[in-house]
Structure 1
């Protein structure tokens, strides 16, 4: 089975071009013209990557993105004509992993998919420990799964990379730039403030305290660290 890509685009010509090109690149493609159909296809086929248009009929791309995150943890690339930085940040805060502005080349789309797949890679042979246990969190590195007790948490690839890095070295302080470079790699450069948004969303998923002070600690004026008291 190849990598499955779900294309969510209401402009038939654009959707057809993306599908044809990505199929020649070796991807298995599904196409939806609206958010409701996209959610149905995702629930049935569990694609690895979702290319999601911002402007969709009936249900917006942002709303679709939010619901996709409730169903699983695909890599999501938001595609839109909106080019303002604030729009980009909103898309990322709603759960997108990358952001592509129209018009774009199909080669750039392919490069973004490859970059995102690298961040989602489940078979990194350079890593020595595939399971981390921190308090009531269990982090499975190979499958990108996180459990709190017996409940599986649905994290985005970016959230997983941030959590794994912090939890790998409890007590060590990481700057926002270090976290940014680790989570997004060199190919996708965004404002350091975006790290705060991802940390905030991650905290809501893993913390028992709504103030977010249980696992991930803020080191004011510097960055973040994982509480050393949770090291097993």
Structure 2
């Protein structure tokens, strides 16, 4: 029986860019649907139910920020932002509102294809749960929409970068994410080799969420590979 093609959706008002990218993605064996009018994006997502979304930010009508925020109200489908906005603040904002990855234009197609393949593979291993905005993990209660983390009912004070890092790990819990990928997504491509920065922030987050940071049960290190957020069963309130 032939395997069903994965469906990708491109949301971008640049018609020529959409046409070229669609053609290239089809050569990789994907089914591709596109939306060039951002006002039709949410309706198209409901109708097409894509396996992954490639989303531009700067569009007339409804911008990518708003589309991403609204999608996260009903779905955890992987979203990769594709945009010319390449500041760290833009990347952090995208991740904080629920995007899974961030690629700046211009980009190498093969790199994008690899990221798409990796996100689809993760979704296969851990199916995305629709409408997940609040999750309970161990003695933590995490509100992804509000950006809040409670530990035993007490709200934790997290810096913007700490929160972005933690939410990125939580959205991919149960999966070991390579150091380079975490750094590239949370800090930017130019930081992808700075493992010491990542280690420092991991330690900061551990001190806030772990009962015993020296023996963590949430953020687990895989030596030489990366970090994994364990899907610890929720504790009774």
Superposed pair shares fold, TM > 0.5: yes
Question: Alpha-carbon deviation of 1:161?
Answer: 2.4
The answer to whether the 8 A contact 2:51-2:77 is kept is yes
Question: Quick one: distance in 2 between partners of 1:228 and 1:110?
Answer: 34
The corresponding residue for 1:58 is: 61
Task: Indicate how the Cα distance of structure 1 residues 66 and 87 shifts in structure 2: closer, same or farther if over 3 A, else same.
Answer: same
Report the more deviating stretch, 37-46 or 153-162: 153-162
The answer to whether the 8 A contact 1:70-1:154 is kept is no
TM-score (norm 1): 0.62
Match of 2:74 among 65, 71, 76: 71
Task: Indicate how the Cα distance of structure 1 residues 218 and 157 shifts in structure 2: closer, same or farther if over 3 A, else same.
Answer: closer
1:38-49 counterparts in 2 under 5 A? Answer: 38-49=41-52
Counterpart check, 1:29 vs 2:21: no
Question: Quick one: distance in 2 between partners of 1:57 and 1:223?
Answer: 49
Counterpart check, 1:18 vs 2:32: no
Task: Indicate how the Cα distance of structure 1 residues 12 and 229 shifts in structure 2: closer, same or farther if over 3 A, else same.
Answer: closer
How many residues get paired?
Answer: 173
1:89-108 counterparts in 2 under 5 A? Answer: 89-108=92-111
Report the more deviating stretch, 217-226 or 47-56: 217-226
3-state secondary structure, aligned to 1:55: coil
1:192-203 counterparts in 2 under 5 A? Answer: 192=198
Question: Quick one: distance in 1 between partners of 2:233 and 2:78?
Answer: 30
Question: Alpha-carbon deviation of 1:112?
Answer: 1.4
Question: Alpha-carbon deviation of 1:16?
Answer: 0.3
Question: Alpha-carbon deviation of 1:119?
Answer: 2.3
CA RMSD between the two structures: 3.6
Deviations 1:112-159 (A, max 9, x none): 11121222223xxxxxxxxxxxxxxxxxx5x3447979xxx9999853
Question: Quick one: distance in 2 between partners of 1:4 and 1:80?
Answer: 21
Question: Alpha-carbon deviation of 1:107?
Answer: 1.7
Task: Indicate how the Cα distance of structure 1 residues 21 and 159 shifts in structure 2: closer, same or farther if over 3 A, else same.
Answer: same
Deviations 1:86-105 (A, max 9, x none): 11111111111110001112
The corresponding residue for 2:150 is: none
TM-score (norm 2): 0.61
The answer to whether the 8 A contact 1:69-1:154 is kept is no
Question: Quick one: distance in 1 between partners of 2:99 and 2:26?
Answer: 23
Question: Quick one: distance in 2 between partners of 1:121 and 1:83?
Answer: 29
Counterpart check, 1:161 vs 2:166: no
